[in-house]
């Protein structure tokens, strides 16, 4: 850690990615007294410099002034949280390397299977790249693997504008070393997050909660794009919940094949999903905005890991193909007039 962190408990924390999750974490950390900076440019940087950050959550509305700029301007940090969408993660991860000094913790906050999945633990595929999210292992080769801390976020948030976010559910994270040890540095990181009001658990097997989050995503996000359904509808409608259960079963088999240990009861899992209420998934929100979908990390990487174990995941692959078609069609229609001819 840097001298700042050792001296008074205040950390220098850089948030890379000023979307809903990044704004939420940055605001809470700044309000807690940590020295927070945000990697931002253009209109987002201008808005943050002018008005700071604003977060409305279950505890009220919080305002915070933070530094904003490029990584080159911000200097070495105690920790950098990379909060980009999986589609932008590689680009942003490379961009933040200038803030990585001696002892800086690098925390990729991503949905789905992370690029570091096969790092730090033994096994047949140790050191392999996850091609769906890191083609050719280029990102893995560039990042400081000894600084990586795994993270799983359970934060539901919406970006209302540059530097403005709203979160309606409790804020929770799980962090852990990617080699499945428990160290002083990961305990210190968890303490910093807790100081910001984020319920944070340290896991000695970070891939276990990671798989739980992956299963939640793969059973809901793609289906939401195909149907427009909320979480409550996906997990309670007889037709959709039947499909979700099929996706759940395939993902559980894949997770188990890769050694995940999860005490997950399928019926209880579906009930928990339904209890989230009429929330629209992040993938559905991205689809409605015409943004790229996180299919690679949430779906394709899972199918890739299944294939490594000789598992087919036929229902999952079919759903992913249908989502890909729907997204491509939507983009084509947005780009110009349709050439479709209706037949009576």
Q: Which helix (H) or strand (E) is 132 found in, with range?
A: none
271 to 154, 173, 255, 285, 315: CA distances (angstroms): 17, 21, 21, 23, 21
**Residue 309 bears catalytic tag:** no
- How far is CA 318 from each of CA 244, 273, 284, 312, 314, rounded to the nearest angstrom? 13, 22, 18, 11, 6
Nearest CA-CA partner of 84 in 93, 75, 94: 93
DSSP 35: E
For Cα atoms 279, 151, 203, give the angle at the middle one, nearest 5 degrees. 110
Q: Give phi and psi for 64, each to the nearest 5.
A: -150, 140
Q: In the chain, where does DSSP find H-type helix?
A: 3-8, 20-31, 42-51, 71-74, 89-95, 138-142, 184-195, 207-218, 221-227, 231-236, 238-257, 266-275, 282-288, 295, 301-308, 314-335
As a dihedral over the C-alpha atoms of residue 191, residue 192, residue 195, residue 196, rounded to 10 degrees, the angle is -140
Considering 140, 213, 289, 329, which one is annotated as catalytic?
213
DSSP annotation of 147 reads: G
Burial of 202 (0-12, 13-18, 19+ CB in 10 A): middle
Angle, CA 31 vertex, CA 195 and CA 9 arms, to 5°: 45
Hey, which residues are catalytic here?
A: 213
């Amino acid at each position: 850690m840097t001298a700042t962190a050792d001296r008074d408990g205040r950390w220098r924390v850089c948030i890379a990615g000023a979307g809903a999750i990044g704004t939420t974490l940055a605001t809470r950390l700044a309000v807690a007294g940590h020295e927070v900076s945000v990697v931002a440019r253009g209109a987002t940087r201008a808005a943050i410099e002018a008005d700071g950050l604003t977060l409305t959550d279950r505890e009220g509305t919080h305002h915070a002034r933070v530094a904003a700029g490029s990584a080159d301007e911000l200097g070495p940090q105690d920790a950098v949280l990379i909060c980009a969408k999986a589609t932008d993660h590689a680009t942003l991860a490379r961009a933040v390397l200038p803030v990585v000094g001696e002892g800086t913790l690098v925390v990729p906050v991503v949905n789905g299977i992370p690029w570091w999945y096969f790092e730090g633990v033994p096994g047949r595929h140790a050191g392999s790249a996850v091609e769906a999210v890191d083609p050719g292992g280029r990102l893995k080769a560039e990042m400081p693997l000894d600084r990586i801390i795994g993270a799983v976020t359970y934060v539901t948030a919406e970006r209302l504008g540059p530097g403005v976010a709203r979160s309606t559910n409790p804020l929770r994270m799980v962090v852990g070393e990617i080699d499945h040890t428990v160290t002083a540095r990961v305990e210190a990181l968890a303490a910093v997050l807790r100081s910001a009001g984020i319920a944070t658990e340290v896991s000695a097997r970070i891939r276990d909660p990671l798989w739980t989050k992956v299963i939640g995503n793969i059973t809901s996000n793609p289906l939401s794009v195909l149907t427009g359904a909320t979480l409550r509808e996906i997990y309670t409608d007889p037709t959709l919940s039947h499909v979700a259960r099929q996706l759940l079963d395939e993902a559980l088999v894949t997770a188990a094949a890769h050694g995940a240990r999860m005490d997950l009861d399928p019926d209880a899992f579906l009930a928990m999903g339904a209890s989230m209420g009429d929330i629209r998934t992040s993938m559905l929100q991205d689809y409605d905005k015409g943004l790229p979908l996180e299919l690679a990390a949430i779906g394709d990487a899972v199918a890739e890991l299944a294939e490594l174990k000789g598992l087919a995941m036929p229902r999952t692959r079919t759903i992913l193909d249908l989502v890909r078609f729907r997204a491509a069609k939507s983009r084509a229609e947005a780009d110009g007039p349709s050439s479709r001819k209706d037949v009576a």
